[in-house]
Amino acid sequence: MKYLDEYRDERIARGLVAEIARRATRPWVLMEICGGQTHTLMRFGIDELLPSGVELVHGPGCPVCVTPLETIDKAIEIASRPGVTLISYGDMLRVPGSNTDLFHVKANGGDVRIVYAPTEALKFARANPDRQVVFFAVGFETTAPANAMAVWQAKREGLKNFSMLASHVLVPPAMRALLSSRRNRVQGFIGPGHVCTVMGYREYEDLIREFRVPIVVGGFEPVDLLEAILMLVTQLEEGRAEVENQYVRSVTYQGNLHAQKILGEVFEVCDRKWRGIGGIPESGLNIRAEYADFDADRIFGTQGVTADEPAECISAEVLQGLKKPTDCSAFGTRCTPENPLGAPMVSSEGACAAYYQYRRHMVAAKGAH
Amino acid sequence: MCLAIPGKILNSDVSNGVRVGRVQFGGITREACLDFVPEASVGDYVIVHVGFAISVVDREEAERSYELLQSMGVLEGELKSDLEPS
């Protein structure tokens, strides 16, 4: 219980932990999808507070982690061309490609820049008409509307020097793929609170009909996550499988219709490869034909670039909840946030990076025995 | 990059046909698009993800989650930009 005194709502957290222990009569395996939730769970040691039968496994909800190797290679190739400014979110620079990463392209004179919002890339393009500005856009449903808006604005303004290398992914098809796998262990999901802020949670009802698995949309604070876990354990113990919404402060059934509208205007659903997992049908978003003039993959002719993923990294198993980062022989030694072998060690939302930050001592202790 | 950070809307304007506003996150302000939250006004608290407000929350909720993100040390990386001075 050493972490509980760090909680602002220590009394509430303690009560939730006790209630989970009281209700759980059997072992249950629960998965949180979102990398932001993984980070909170590790930071506050929530997995260590739970009764031993309630196991948390970590899902594929880190967009940096699931961007395919070949897409990183495409970004590197485009960024290495003269006259190009490649702009992306900070974490993308350190993700290893087949031979190098964007950070090294930048160090070797490539014009690679970090922004926190796609609209900044648009502004840069307006101010620098002599540069070909490529925004390398990754993300789940939370991020896709923002990226869509940048493309929509560029078209409306008739910008000739802005395009997007897009690699968007969708949560429900990934959950369907995990649940369809013969190796699946997950019996209940904590739904991603900010994805559902945008998309609502209607889509998750189909998954429940198909797989009879409870899903509780959860927030990001420790007490949110404990409450979501309690709601899941209660459903499982009572033999129910429903969608429930713990994060009512931000999530509605319909989601944000304004964001959904722009998303549908610019992007269409497509099959998508996920790093470490492989192809998942209808799990991604492509730029629609009407916006093809802003599709960097087409403009720079990189559609044919393919890459094989390195064998040492076990991120495939980690991203599917089959293994923990600490099960990897390279964890914390040959693979660290400074020198990552795989993408889950790069982003603070990646399970490996979260374990590295908060659980290294466990590995050291194990090695000492 | 998938985090969403609560902040307070300081002003609201239309720029290149889009509604934007300065949003304050603790000691840092950033421009954010307000087109997805037409119901939000100056002084309201919104959750902002990659420069876009995606929902309106109350002040207490905003302050609590901001402090949590700050305590986790993830804000700086999230708001980092080569193009915008902090």
pLDDT per position as a tens digit, B35-55: 999 999 999 999 999 999 999
Contact B52 A123 (CB under 8 A): no
Q: What is the pLDDT of residue A110?
A: 96
Nearest chain A CA: its distance from B51 CA (Å): 5
For residue A258, what is the nearest residue in chain B, using CA coordinates?
Answer: B36
Six-digit token pair at A137? 């856009």
Q: For residue A194, what is the enclosing H or E element?
A: helix A193-199
Output the average pLDDT for chain B.
88
Residue A305 phi/psi, 5-degree rounding, is -65, 125
Measured CA distances, A59 to A315, A317, A322 (Å): 11, 10, 9
Q: What is the pLDDT of residue A138?
A: 95
Contact B33 A157 (CB under 8 A): no
Q: What is the pLDDT of residue B76?
A: 75
User: B30 and chain A: CB distance < 8 Å anywhere?
Assistant: yes
Measured CA distances, A97 to A72, A88, A164, A306, B59 (Å): 5, 15, 19, 11, 42
Residue-range domain boundaries for chain B: 5-79
Rounded to an integer, what distance in angstroms lies between the CA atom of residue A231 and that of residue A115? 38
Contact B82 A140 (CB under 8 A): no
Restricting to B residues 46-65, those with a Cβ less than 8 Å away from any Cβ of A are 47, 49-52, 54-55, 57-58, 61, 64-65
What is A13-71 written as a DSSP string? HHHHHHHHHHH--S-EEEEEEEHHHHHHHHHTTHHHHS-TTEEEEEEEE-HHHHS-HHH
> Best interface-test mutation with B: which of A8, A116, A246 has the largest number of B CBs within 10 A?
A116
- Per-residue pLDDT for B86 more than 50? no
**What are the per-10-residue average pLDDT scores of chain A (369 residues)?**
62 92 97 92 91 94 90 97 95 90 95 95 97 97 97 97 97 96 95 97 96 96 95 98 96 97 98 90 97 98 88 81 90 89 84 88 55
Q: What pTM was computed for the model?
A: 0.92
Residue A243 phi/psi, 5-degree rounding, is -90, 125
Whose structure tokens read 């998750």?
Answer: A204
Q: What is the pLDDT of residue A363?
A: 60
**Residue A42 burial (CB count, 10 A):** 23
Contact A62 B2 (CB under 8 A): yes
Whose structure tokens read 């429903």?
Answer: A242
Q: What is the pLDDT of residue A127?
A: 97
Nearest chain B CA: its distance from A365 CA (Å): 24
Q: What is the pLDDT of residue A177?
A: 94
At A69, the amino acid letter reads L
Choose between A261 and B28: higher pLDDT.
A261
Give the 3-state secondary structure percentages of chain B, helix then strand then coil, rounded to 5: 20, 40, 40
CATH for B5-79, options being 3.40.1410.10, 2.30.30.140, 3.40.50.1000, 1.20.1530.20: 2.30.30.140
Q: What is the pLDDT of residue A362?
A: 66
Neighbouring-strand partners of residue B18: B15
Distance of CA B62 to the CA centre of its chain: 10
All domains in chain A, ordered by first residue: 65-170+255-299 (3.40.50.11740), 315-368 (no CATH)
Query: How many pairs of residues across A and B have Cβ atoms under 8 Å apart?
Result: 134
Q: What is the pLDDT of residue A5?
A: 62
A34 closest CB neighbour out of B1, B2, B49: B2
Whose structure tokens read 């496994």?
Answer: A57
Rounded to an integer, what distance in angstroms lies between the CA atom of residue A122 and that of residue A106? 20
Contacts of A164 in chain B (CB under 8 A): none
User: B84 and chain A: CB distance < 8 Å anywhere?
Assistant: yes
- What are the strands, taking DSSP E only, across chain A? 28-34, 54-61, 84-88, 111-114, 132-139, 162-169, 188-192, 215-218, 243-245, 267-274, 278-287
- Per-residue pLDDT for B2 more than 80? no
Q: For residue A321, what is the enclosing H or E element?
A: none
**Residue A238 burial (CB count, 10 A):** 10
At B8, the amino acid letter reads K
Distance of CA A325 to the CA centre of its chain: 16
User: B76 and chain A: CB distance < 8 Å anywhere?
Assistant: no
- Per-residue pLDDT for B73 more than 50? yes
Q: What is the pLDDT of residue A2?
A: 45
Contact B72 A43 (CB under 8 A): yes
**Contact predicate B44/B55, CB 8 Å:** no
Nearest chain B CA: its distance from A339 CA (Å): 18
Question: SS3 for A3?
Answer: coil
Contact B38 A258 (CB under 8 A): yes
Beta B18-25 vs B13-15: how paired, if at all? antiparallel
Six-digit token pair at A71? 């897409």
**Contact predicate A96/A343, CB 8 Å:** yes
For residue B59, what is the nearest residue in chain A, using CA coordinates?
Answer: A249
Those residues with Cβ within 8 angstroms of residue A345's Cβ, 6 or more apart along the chain or in another chain: A335, A336, A337, A352, A353, A356
